[in-house]
Structures are given as C-alpha cells and as structure tokens.
Amino acid sequence: MSTRNAAPVNDRSGAVTAGGPLRVAVIDTDSGFLQVLTNRMDRLDWEYRVLTGPVPVAEIVAMRLSAIIVDLTLFGTRAWDELQQIAQELPGLGIVVCTGRSTVAQRVRGLRLGADDWLAKPCHPEELIARVEAVVRRRKRAESRKEAAPVAAGELQIRADQFQAFVAGTSVDLTRREFELIELLAGVEGRVLEREEIYQRVWGYAMARGDRSVDVFVRKLRQKLEKASPEWRYIHTHFGVGYRFAAEPAEGVEFVPDAPPADFAPAQVAELAPVPEASGLPA
C-alpha cells in the first residue's frame, strides 16, 4: 500500500472516518486490466494494493480501506461465502464486484449478499473508477445521516437517520426520492435551489432539456405534506427558478403553480435484453 499521503483512521467496521486519499484493494489477476487501472489510480493519487486471491478479514481491516474491487471468479466455489463474510465483518467497506460474464440471478445474489455495485468485464477502467467513487460517496452520506440531528420546521420533523419525516409523531408516507428531495431542500432552509441543481443532487446526473421530473416530484411531495400538516406550507415555488423550503402558516401564503406540461409522462423503462449464461461463478 502506497504511503504517499497520511493514512486516514478507521475502525473495525472498515469505514474510513477521516479525510485523505481513497484507499483501495483490488483482488484480480488480469495483468492488462490491472496495468490500466493502477495507472489511473496513480494519477488520482489513490493508495491501493493488488491481491491475487482471498485474504483473511483481519488483513483487510489492517489495510484501512475505503473500498475493495473484487473479481469473484478468483474465489472459486467459495465466492458467495467470501463475499458475505467481507460484507458482514466490514459493514463500512464499499464493495465493488468487477467480474466476467454473469447472469441476472448471480448479480442479484451478489448485491443481496453485500456488494454495493457490480460491473461486468470487459469494462472501461474510467467507469470502474467512477463507480468506486460513487459507492464511497453513498457510504459517507449514510454515515453523516446517522449523526445528523433532526430538522424541525412547523409541525414537521425530518429524521435523516431514519429516512423518514414525521408530523405529530406519525410518519409521512414518502418514497425514497421524495425524502431525498425534502432532505435537500430543508438542509438549505430559506435558500432557493434551481431545478437543475436539485436534479443533479437528488437524481445524481445532469437534467435533460425539458425534463419536468423535479416539478412532478415536488408537487407529489407538497401534496403529501399538506395532507399531513394542512395548517402549514413547507415548499414554496419561485416560478421559472426553483424551490425554497420554509415552514410558513398556510393562511396568507400565496400559491404559485409549478405548471408542469399537461402531457408529461415518465419515460418508459426499456426491457432488459436476455443475458447469456455465465462462466466462472458458482450458480
């Protein structure tokens, strides 16, 4: 493991708890793939270690990792057991599986056993790098949620640690996306967020021209909040700009329509193409 930078501190969970470069272990034997990947990690100033097979969990703990990239085919018939053991004993460690051809059933099994992401070979190392970064970001956000104090506004209480919002002790029935939306808006209370920024931070990528998803989700969220807490208004529209969160009594609040297009309809989800049977992984 490189020592170019000071090492962050971690606990038994495997989660890095202080700043510093990403520290990654790669379990793989594909020399060409490893050469390109390690060159990219060098340019990013990541600290990494390449392993040719499974190692004891205690050794992984000692590496103080941010994430691990693993080709499960190297584990043979013990692939699922090894994956599950790592996930259970190091719950704070990001696990990205990067392996050969696999079936839907195998990918689902791996994700349910504890993998955070699954990428099939051959793949572009840049995509793998981005997926590792995304996994680490999600885990950091999850840790910050555990430590976040509840946000109280009007009759509403937002509990990031429980991923729920409450009115008078009763949970408001929010979807995950709706909760992430109100969590974002309440976290910058009083500030107007533009639609593009909301989309980038909640959906995770740039908003396409003409996309009205933010307006649709805000409308649904607002309806749920007003049904649960009719005496208050929480989300306010700044027409043509975006939205602002502030708890204000319903009386006297001027309604500004979101005005999504009448013919708006969510994009249809394309059917998945059949996936050929895998080789090298246990069924």
Instruction: Give pLDDT tens digits for 94-104.
Output: 999 998 888 89
| Torsion 26-28-33-36 (CA) sign | positive
**How does pLDDT run across 120-131, given as a tens digit for each residue?**
888 888 999 998
Rounded-to-10 torsion of CA 135, 139, 140, 145: 140
Amino acid at 83: L
For the chain, list the domains and their CATH numbers. Answer: 23-145 (3.40.50.2300), 151-249 (1.10.10.10)
Average pLDDT per block of 10 residues along the chain, 283 residues long: 38 43 91 92 93 87 90 91 88 89 90 90 89 85 66 89 86 88 88 91 78 91 94 92 92 57 43 48 73
22 burial via Cβ count (<10 Å: 0-12, 13-18, 19+): buried
CA distance 276 to 213: 34
- The DSSP line for 180-201 is HHHHHHHHTTTPPEEHHHHHHH
- Percentage of residues in the chain with pLDDT exceeding 90? 41
For 88, phi and psi rounded to 5 degrees?
-75, -40
pTM of this prediction?
Answer: 0.52
